[in-house]
Amino acid sequence: MQVGIASARPMFSKTSIGIDEKLIQAPRNIKELDSPMREEALEVFAHAVTTVFRAAVPIVVLSLIVAIFVPGRQLKGRAPSPQEKAAH
């Protein structure tokens, strides 16, 4: 959930919806709000998390597809050990 909150920070500006900055820093404090404000804050957080995951899923799927098709190559030789580097 932290990713969703961090990614959607512009949506949480206290001037746009009236949510205090303390709620952004510690979302657990939402339960202390009055009912209408609490429901609005929960809706905003839920929307932000949903948006972040909707954006992340295609990126993850594309990354997996690319990773599958990256050709594996045999390594040629090995890296010199620290002793071999010191000897040269």
What pLDDT is attached to residue 58? Answer: 94
21-36 tens-digit pLDDT = 666 677 777 777 788 8
**What is the number of other CB atoms lying within 10 angstroms of the CB of residue 34?**
7
Q: In sequence order, which residues have a C-beta less than 8 Å from that of residue 29 and are 6 or more positions away?
A: 22, 23
Q: How far is residue 49's CA from residue 40's CA, in Å, rounded to a whole number?
A: 14
Mean pLDDT throughout 59-72? 92
* Tokens standing for residue 31: 């339960």
d(CA 40, CA 18): 10
Q: What pLDDT is recorded for position 24?
A: 65
Task: With cut-offs at 50, 70 and 90, classify the pLDDT of residue 17.
Answer: low
The span from the CA of 34 to the CA of 64, in Å, is 44
- Classify residue 32 by its DSSP letter: G
